[in-house]
Structures are given as C-alpha cells and as structure tokens.
Structure 1
Amino acid sequence: MITLYQRGKVLPLLKGHKLIISELKNKFGAFQFYLILIVMIAVTVYLGFFWGNANYTQQQMTISTHEKSIYNLKLENEKLIKNLNILGVELEVAKLTQQQHFIEIGKSIDVEKDLRTQLAFYQQVMAPELNEQGFLIEGFNLEPALSDNSFRFELVLMQQNKTKNTLKGNLKVTLIGSENGKAKQYTLDSMLSDQEQKSLTFSFKYFQVIAGEISLPEGFQPEQVSVHADMFQFKRKKGELTTVFDWVINPY
C-alpha cells in the first residue's frame, strides 16, 4: 500500500516536469532551450564560484587580522618581559648597593668607636685633669687564639695623677662563670699558658699593658672578669681597686 501510494505521488510529478520541458522546447525551440539551460547552469556555477571566492577572501582577511594581532601581542609581551628583567636587575643592584652602604656605615661606626676609645685613652694618659685622679683599670680585652678554648688577653692599667710617680703592685684576676650548671670561679694565673708567668704584677709611671694567653677548663663558661689590684708607692701600700668586666670576645 505504501509503495502504491508513493508511486501515485511521484509519477504525476515527473509527468508534470516532462510536460513543462516539452512546452518550453516547443515554445523556444530545442536549440534555444538548451542554450538557455546552459547559460543558467553557467551563471549558477559562476555565482557559486564568486560566492565561494568572496567567502575565502573574507576568511583570509580575518586570519591575517588575527595573525597580526597575535604578532603584536607577542611583541608587546616580549617588551614587557624585557622591561621586567631590567627592573629585576636594577632591583638586585639597588639591594647590593644598600648592603654595601650598610657595611660601610657599620665600618664607619666601628672606626668612630675605636677613635673615641683611643682619644679617651690618650686623654686619660696625657690630660688626667679631665678625669678623676688616681689609679685606673682601663680595660680587659679578649680575642680567640689558635688553640681550641684558648684566648689572648690584654689588661690595660694607668694612673691619672698630675704628678706621676712609679706605681707598683699585684693583680688578682678572677674569671666568674658556670661549669656543669653550677657557679664556678677560676683565677687567671692558673690558666696561663706561659708557665713562667704565674703571678701578675705591674710597675709603670703612665700606663702598662699586661698580655698573655689562657686556656679555659673543659666545660667552663665565663661570664665576667674581676680584676683586683693592690697598689704600692715608695714601698708603701697606696690603695686597692677592683673592677669587673663582662666576658666579651673581640673578633680577629
């Protein structure tokens, strides 16, 4: 039933087309009909080709525009990366310059401290009227020695009297600290590396520097240095003085 129905629909349609074609042939003639048909086909092909070419040209223009945009973005990106690298280098140079300035400032501060110390020292020696009169334990300086747990020390003494006579005396230097978690004290002369220098004495008119090297006992952690001096002048005891210093190790 379906096939008959479809045939019933299709056959009249084909017959109608044939009749139209026959009428056109009879009206224009076979030559003119086929000529018109060829012209229509040619126009159709030309219009299709023209439309396709126009569409292709438009696509090529769009692709070219996108490629130019990508190229420009790539150039701009490279420029930004270059500027970023330059800024990074400038930042590193600025950091290095700042660090160098800090180092120079630190050195200047250290030099100023040394100059002030030297100035105070020579003022006390050459111009004692600027300070209190009498005997002075100026300083106890430390720096590490080559051996482990060994240190070199310098003990600076001076007198500040306007009329300076030779001043003699004995020193007792005590290292105060801890050992194995308990308070502990050692005398400096018991740690001297030089076996011949068992007692600390002084004899000077203006100032004197007593130097030596000590080795600390294993496990001992010094915190302070107590320097006690008994002074004699003309074989008579003139007085005594005790000064306490913090245990501070100066670098090389």
Structure 2
Amino acid sequence: MIPDEIRKTWGAFKFYSVLLALLAGAVYFAFMYGNDHFDVQKAQISTLEHTIENLNAENQRLTKQLNILGVELEVQRLAVRKSQNLLEKGLSNEARLKEEIQFYQRVMAPELEQDGFLIEAFDIKKSLSDRAYWFELVLMQQDKIKNVVKGTVEINVIGSEDGKPRQYKLSELLTEESPSLSFSFKYFQTIQGEMILPKNFSPEKVQVKSTIFQFNRKRGELEKTFDWNAEVLQTSTE
C-alpha cells in the first residue's frame, strides 16, 4: 500500500510528523470554518431578534391605536343613539303638545273651529281579559257662549260574525262596572267603560249617535263613525 511505502521511505517519525501536521491543519481549518459559520448564524439570529422586536413594537402600537379607535367609535355610537333618542322623544312630546293645544283651543277658543257640539274621539285599548276592551268617548261643545248640554249617546259596534254582517249595541256589550251612556257638561266630557265582544265577532267600525238637549229642548242629533283599531280609532265618516 502507498502509506506503507511512504512510511518505509520517509521513516516512521517523519511520516507521523507529516500526518500530525496534516491533521492539525484540517482541525484548524475546520475550526475556522465553524467559527465563521457561527458568526454568520449569530448575526442572522441578531437580525431576526431585532426584526421581532420591531414587529412586536409595531404590533403594540397598532393594537393601542385600534383600541383608541374602538373607544372613539363606541363614544360616537352612543352619542348618535342618545341624539336619536332625544330626537324621538322631542318629536313625541311635540306631537303630544300639539294634540293638547288643539284640544284646549277647541275648548277655550271655539272661534278657531266650527261652532256646535262635537263627538271628538272614540279611543279603545285591549284589556287583559279575553275579548275585552276599554273605551273612552270624548264629547265637546264649541259654542262661544257655552251652556250646559245634556243628552244620550247610542254606540253600535259594526263588523262581521261567521262571515255575515253583524252589529251590536254597546249597551249589550258593557260590563257591570261601565257607566251609563248619557252626558251633561258645559265644556267637554268623557265617557269610559269596558266592553266584551262576542265570540266569532270581528269588529270593523264604531258608530256613535248622540241626541243633544239644551234648556230642556232638543238641540239636534249628531252621528260619527270611527274605523276599528286595537289601539286607536281613526275617523271614517261623519
């Protein structure tokens, strides 16, 4: 073999010396290469750590900014909601005040309206009992010189029953606690009570007829019809 021939030619000491020198050189170059490679990796790791720190800082900044924007958005949303509530409340109060003003104008300043006796409104709301409803009839006098007027009212609930037209007198539907359908007033009066509708009866309209007396003489008659609604009755015909 070649190593044996070289060892015989150079001698054992010279051969092993050269071999140790080669081995030492290989170890040195390997160490230098590994050290250089370690420095490169260390630099790359340092760069990555710096990049991660920058990303974390940027993430914290963006998160803080997002939180601030979220708070500002919620504050604006609450402000808008509050403004809407105030606007709705204001509109509701305005409508209620207009109704009250119109009502008292008709009572205290009748020259703004037509003269005479008036069936002002017939309001109705659902009661807790089955088929039961609370009603309120508002009567008013619009003469400039107001004297006491008396009379009676006849109220008919018009609708259909089992697919056929049917009407009931309110006096037939009243509960025991309901008042009589008569009036006596100078400015206005309300008649309130509770009615119970028959089964299979669907109401559609309410017809109010009044007979008016003044100074013990019949002053006249007035009739007004309202459309049925579970909460509010709107005037249909007069």
TM-score, normalization: structure 1? 0.76
Residue 226 of structure 2 is aligned to residue 245 of structure 1: yes
Q: Indicate conservation of the 8 Å contact 1:138/1:156, yes or no.
A: yes
1:39 aligned to which of 2, 12, 21? 21
TM-aligned CA deviation for residue 216 of structure 1: 2.4
Q: Once structures 1 and 2 are overlaid, which stretch shifts more, 165-174 or 142-151?
A: 142-151
Partner residue, 1:66: 48
The CA distance in 2 between the partners of 1:107 and 1:205, in whole Å, is 34
Question: How far apart are the structure 2 equivalents of 1:187 and 1:136?
Answer: 21
Partner of 1:7: none
Which residue of structure 1 aligns with residue 99 of structure 2? 117
1:100 to 82, 101, 121: 82
1:154-208 CA-to-partner distances (Å, cap 9, x unmatched) read 21111111122221222111223344444432222222113674x4111222211
Change (3 A) 1:162 1:222: same
CA drift of 1:49 comes to 0.6
Contact 1:228–1:242 (Cα < 8 Å) also in 2 = yes
Could you list the runs of 5+ residues in structure 2 that have no partner in the other structure?
233-238
User: How far off is 1:225 after superposition?
Assistant: 2.0
SS at match of 2:221: strand
Q: 2:31 aligns with which of 43, 49, 59?
A: 49
Provide the rounded CA distance (Å) in 1 between the counterparts of 2:69 and 2:192. Answer: 55
Distance verdict in 2 for CA 1:196–1:73, change over 3 Å: closer
Deviations 1:5-26 (A, max 9, x none): xxxxxxxxx34x6555666x38
Higher helix share: 1
Which moved further from structure 2: 127-136 or 209-218? 209-218
What is the 5 A alignment of 1:1-252?
Answer: 14-15=1-2, 25=10, 34-194=16-176, 197=179, 199-250=180-231
Residues 107, 148 of structure 1: CA spacing in aligned structure 2 closer, same or farther, 3 A cutoff?
Answer: farther
Cα distance change on mapping 1:100 and 1:204 into 2, 3 Å: same
The answer for the alignment partner of 2:235 in structure 1 is: none
Measure the CA separation in 1 of the matches of 2:139 and 2:215.
Answer: 19
Deviation sequence 1:94-124 (CA, Å, 0-9, x none): 4444333333322222211111111111111
C-alpha distance 65-183 of structure 1, shift in aligned 2 (>3 A)? farther
Letter matched to residue 206 of structure 1: Y
**Local SS of the residue matching 1:56:** helix
How high is the sequence identity, in percent, across the aligned residues?
47
Residue type of the alignment partner of 1:123:
Q
Task: Report deviation, 1:245.
Answer: 2.3
Counterpart-to-counterpart distance in 1, 2:61 and 2:164: 68
Does the 8 A contact of 2:132 with 2:194 survive in 1?
yes
1:52: how far off?
Answer: 0.8
Provide closer, same or farther for how the CA distance between residues 99 and 191 of structure 1 changes in structure 2, counting only shifts above 3 A: farther
Q: Secondary structure at the match of 2:222?
A: strand
Q: Which amino acid aligns with 2:20?
A: I
SS of the equivalent of 2:146 reads coil
CA distance in 1, matches of 2:64, 2:177: 70
- In 1, the alpha carbon distance for the partners of 2:163 and 2:53 equals 74
